[in-house]
């Protein structure tokens, strides 16, 4: 039983119609038939079990059945991670979506290897949103995380006041660890988690982040690859918040 996402405006009289790639996947790839069951979630996280009524060129019509329990994290984690080479950015998006990250902010910094033109950034953002949507369905999230268009370091710093906690993962930090900084985290908290590029952060960037209100933390004595650091840090934050079996 797969999970798919739809807009509430597609719902009428207890039915919803899926179109586009979802309809193609159900009808032509999975070769579903009327009577087959699936799960549908709307744009605000309301999820229902559903039954396929008909499959046509216009789309897949489903009857909405019982409501399903929600599973979205009560603590919202936004992962701001530096743009990475090749498919590494897509790996971070996919795995962090599975873990429970609510929003992504890709950015470029002083030592970033990957930089995008405005046009390319818009194109990548569309592809990244598709990857996140697929990952959210696969792991049965109730909501699709948002992927922001890539920004620069200064624009990222300007976002800090919008979060209850800003955590800055820095390879030169030696004392502070995530667990201590997340003591007292509670439902409704909005956390911004920042991980760096392949070349790491410069001392100037680290000072700017801390001057802007971020708390620097270490992820241990071993130097992690940028994509590993992003996924590991997201897992640690969500664990400490009680979303992966941990206790806040």
- CA dist., res. 218 & res. 199, Å (int): 16
- Taking residues 175-200, what's their average pLDDT? 89
CA 247 to chain centre: 22
CATH topology of domain 76-240: Alpha/beta knot (3.40.1280)
pLDDT at 186: 83
Q: What angle do CA 47, 58, 15 make, to 5 degrees?
A: 30
pLDDT at 232: 95
Whole-structure pTM value: 0.90
Answer whether 194's CB lies under 8 Å from 167's CB. yes
* 40 or 121: which leads in pLDDT: 40
CA-nearest of 136, 146, 137 to 39 is: 137
- CA dist., res. 248 & res. 233, Å (int): 16
pLDDT at 180: 84
- Which sequence spans correspond to the domains of the chain? 3-67, 76-240
28, 83, 157, 187, 195 from 131: Cα distances, Å: 20, 16, 26, 27, 20
Query: pLDDT category, 89, cuts 50, 70, 90?
Result: very high
CA-nearest of 152, 149, 239 to 191 is: 239
14, 35, 38, 152 from 51: Cα distances, Å: 11, 6, 6, 45
- Compute the half-sphere exposure of residue 215: CA atoms within 13 Å on the CB side of its CA: 17
pLDDT at 86: 78
* 19 or 40: which leads in pLDDT: 40
- CA dist., res. 32 & res. 23, Å (int): 10
Query: pLDDT category, 2, cuts 50, 70, 90?
Result: confident
pLDDT at 247: 58
Do the strands 11-12 and 15-18 form a parallel or antiparallel pair, or are they unpaired?
antiparallel
Query: pLDDT category, 115, cuts 50, 70, 90?
Result: confident
pLDDT at 42: 94
Q: Residue 248 pLDDT more than 60?
A: no
CATH class name, domain 3-67: mainly beta
Q: What is the pLDDT of residues 155-172, one digit of tens each?
A: 999 999 999 999 999 999
pLDDT at 177: 87
């Amino acid at each position: 039983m797969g999970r798919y996402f739809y807009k509430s405006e597609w719902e009428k009289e207890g039915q919803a119609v899926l179109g586009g790639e979802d309809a193609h996947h159900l009808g032509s790839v999975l070769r579903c038939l009327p009577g087959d069951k699936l799960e549908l979630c709307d744009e605000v996280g309301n999820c229902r079990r559903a039954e396929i009524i008909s499959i046509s060129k216009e789309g897949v019509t489903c009857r909405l059945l019982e409501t399903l329990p929600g599973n979205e994290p009560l603590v919202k984690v936004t992962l701001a991670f530096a743009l990475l080479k090749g498919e590494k950015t897509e790996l971070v998006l996919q795995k962090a979506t599975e873990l429970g990250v609510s929003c992504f902010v890709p950015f470029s910094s002083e030592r970033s290897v990957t930089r995008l033109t405005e046009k390319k950034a818009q194109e990548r953002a569309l592809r990244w949103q598709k990857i996140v949507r697929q990952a959210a369905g696969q792991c049965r999230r109730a909501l699709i995380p948002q992927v922001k268009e890539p920004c620069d370091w200064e624009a990222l710093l300007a976002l800090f006041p919008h979060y209850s906690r800003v955590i800055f993962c820095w390879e030169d930090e030696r004392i502070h660890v995530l667990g201590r900084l997340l003591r007292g985290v509670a439902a409704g908290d909005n956390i911004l988690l920042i991980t760096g590029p392949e070349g790491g952060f410069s001392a100037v960037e680290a000072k700017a982040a801390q001057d802007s209100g971020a708390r620097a933390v270490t992820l241990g004595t071993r130097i992690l690859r940028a994509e590993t650091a992003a996924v590991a840090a997201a897992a640690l934050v969500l664990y400490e918040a009680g979303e992966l079996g941990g206790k806040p």
